[in-house]
Chains A and B, each alone.
Chain A
Amino acid sequence: MEDNTRIRIEDLSVIFGRRKKDAKKMLQQNKSKEEILKETGCTVAVNKVNFNIQEGEIFVVMGLSGSGKSTLIRCVNRLLVPTEGRVVVDEDDILTAEESRLRELRRKKFGMVFQNFGLLPHRTVASNVAFGLEIQGMSEEERMKKAYDVINTVGLQGYEEKMTGQLSGGMQQRVGLARALANDPPVLLMDEAFSALDPLIRANMQDELLDLQERVQKTIIFITHDLDEALKLGDRIAIMKEGYIVQNGTPEDILTNPADDYVKAFVEGVDRSDIVTAGTIMIENPTFVDGKKDGAEMILRKMNQAGVNILPVVDERDKFMGFVTDQDTSRLRKKEVNSIRDIIHDHSASVYEDATVAEIIPIFRDTSFPIAVVNKDNKLKGVVIHSAVVKEVVGREEKEIEQIIKEGYKI
């Protein structure tokens, strides 16, 4: 696999308090956060955290308040100096960098957005957005031109000369975002950037961030305490608890295999249908019918063995053709029809592996057949059956659902 690692965090620990040395020792002995707090009065805010972030991905760090997210993200641009560990961004070791190099990196490589905006209240919107450029010594004219451009990008045109205090929260955060984007940094650090906003505006901003990401491809660390936000934005999600990372994976990993009860507690009550994909709930390597070779006898035997009454059919190049039922196959055996071609329901739908459950449900409304999962070449990868989908939606066990289906959809 090609290594596109942009940010590498190794064994990062942050301890707050006076007796850091003792706390550090206890940490090495794998003592718990409470023990260390009790013994030394020190808070372990970040506890031996490791992860890599790839170029162009949105890496979400999620956790409850106080779990150390803000502390962690502040180590990335050294707003906070960690007690231990390494932070490497591209070829720079952030924590050992010279002061001047660090300033350079902050000016060119990082753009940061804060939960409480951190705007300069004595300046106009444009002047706030141009702040990073001003720090770099860009001329007034040039930086204002850029600032106006970026303000356009975030949809704040017409507000350039307003003081920031006159704006609503959502608009202020747009200013914050514009300020971070103004010097076109490859890495965005966003600490609960949308948490202070109303739900509606928040959803809006999330969409816009995704839009923007599609256009400009940044590497983004996004902090949130909200699972829905994490699932919506994250290419990968790290879940933090009491300073350490309990799980690090794709949104689907997190939902389908929560690492522990903490994660499970998060995941419960989430609308999974937008997240879980056909690839996850399909039956892989299903029994299939070879459309070229298999005759009626063979098909019926396969059905018997698999314990099903419907099977997918593929051609000689493994391409999906449709489904056959046991009843139709019996008709084939009795020679009521001439060839297998006449009994293949080739109108049955197929989906790609990354189709979400939400996208599959409407298809099931129109067919009583399972749905085939194929790749881009239409090769059969698996089969999604009704009960698997229903399970995702209502969260009941498969057996229970089959029972319900048999008894006639009395859900």
Chain B
Amino acid sequence: MMIIAMKFLGKSVEKGINWLSVAAGGFFDGITAGVDALVETLQTILLFPHPLVMMVIIAALGYYASAKNYKLLSREGWKAGRFLTLFIFFGLLLLERRMLLKIVDTVVMEFDYWYIIALILVIFIPGYQYYKKAKKSGLFSKSGFEAGGKFKHPIQFVVLLLAFLFLSKKYVGLIVMQQSYWEDTMLTLALVVASALLALVIGIPLGIWASRSDRVEGTVRPILDFMQTMPPFVYLIPAILFFSVGNVPGVVATVVFSLPPGVRLTNLGIRGVQPNVVEAARSFGSSDRQLLYKVQLPLAKPTILAGVNQVIMLALSMVVIASMVGAAGLGQAVYKGILTADVALGFEAGLGIVLVAILLDRVSQEIGNTERKSEE
């Protein structure tokens, strides 16, 4: 009995989807054209400037996001933003083999005097920092060690030393990738940004709508639950039927998969605004629109931005899966690595995805962060 019913359910869904792809063909063609245009525009923009310039632009974006609560070009700003900025820059540099090699070629000579100067600097910078903090309490005493930041500067020393070692021609091979992933990385970025953008353009208004009506919320919530519990692979099948192969079905499946947190957290954020503030705004004669823009959205902003972050991360997590239907980028490389059991390719492309993930996560979180880091 059960088995017959299952077959029947699956079959009727299939029938329905087949019918839809024919009946609403024009509609799907329209979406295909729109999504394609969006992805291609983003790709073009990201690949247009010289890679080094693009790295600087993205790193600068990271710097702005994390240092915006201070004067941008101040000590405090640099302190807040330096880590993310350097991480983004060097991370992206790692993925662009040609640039990395070029830099190493021009900058590094083989154990000549420049390299020695660099090495002295490596010893000097953390050493001096330690000296400055620890001299009062005695450089090599226990209290001096504690005043000097404990293991901070020794670790700094080791990291810098390794970095300079790798910048020598002898060892650089250890960190240079076997091919350049720059185009793939930018394609992935374009796909993720396009999908997240679409998911937010749909999700935030839907979230606002849900926040205003219990009925809408009651309808939307189980649908979102369903969307989130369904294994994401499943979305690929109708996506292929409606949009054939390539970037578009990838983006569509990604949008469907990453939509829920955008809706949920917008709804939650607006409903979480203190009712007495909303009531006060109403008592002064706010229209619904004024209430939304002047009170609810500003106060729900932290929650909504948390939703934006989640949407972006979910979109990124679809990268490999979407490549199964022909979406381009790092996912495609990982997928190829899987099919050919190429560990090296899979690892390098996977590392690229991790880098993009950290980049997107940190930047999108820092954008929502309005607090200053507490002074030490």
Contact = CB atoms under 8 A, between A and B. Distances in A.
Whether both chains belong to one complex is answered with yes
B283 A110 contact: yes
Given A122-B299, A135-B290, A103 B285 contact: yes
Interface in A59-89: 77, 79
A379 interface: no
A134 B281 CA distance: 11
Interface in A156-208: 176, 179, 183, 189
B277 interface: yes
Contacts of A118: 274, 276-277, 279-281
B277 A120 contact: yes
Contact of A120 (B279, B287, B295): B295
A112 B276 CA distance: 12
B150 interface: no
A114 B276 CA distance: 8
Contact of B294 (A77, A112, A121, A134): A134
B284 A135 contact: yes
A77 B283 contact: yes
Contact of B281 (A110, A116, A131, A183): A131
A107 B274 CA distance: 21
A112 B277 contact: no
A119 interface: yes
A106 B277 contact: no
Contacts of B287: 103
Contact of B284 (A117, A122, A132): A132
B275 to A, nearest CB: 9
Contacts of B290: 135
Contacts of A120: 277, 281, 294-295, 298-299
B141 to A, nearest CB: 43
B282 interface: yes
Interface string B252-282: 0000000000000000000000101101111
Interface string A121-135: 110000000011011
Interface of B: 274, 276-277, 279-287, 290, 294-295, 298-299
A106 B283 contact: yes
Interface in A85-113: 103-107, 110-112
B283 A79 contact: yes
A77 to B, nearest CB: 6
Nearest to B277: A118
A107 B281 CA distance: 10
B284 A106 contact: yes
A136 interface: yes
Contact of B285 (A116, A135, A179): A135
Contacts of A176: 280
B260 to A, nearest CB: 27
A120 to B, nearest CB: 6
17 contacts: A77-B283, A79-B282, A103-B285, A103-B286, A103-B287, A106-B282, A106-B283, A106-B285, A114-B276, A118-B274, A118-B277, A118-B281, A119-B277, A120-B281, A122-B299, A131-B284, A135-B286
Interface centre among A104, A105, A117, A118 (most CB of B within 10 A): A118
B245 to A, nearest CB: 47
A111 B285 CA distance: 10
A114 B277 CA distance: 10
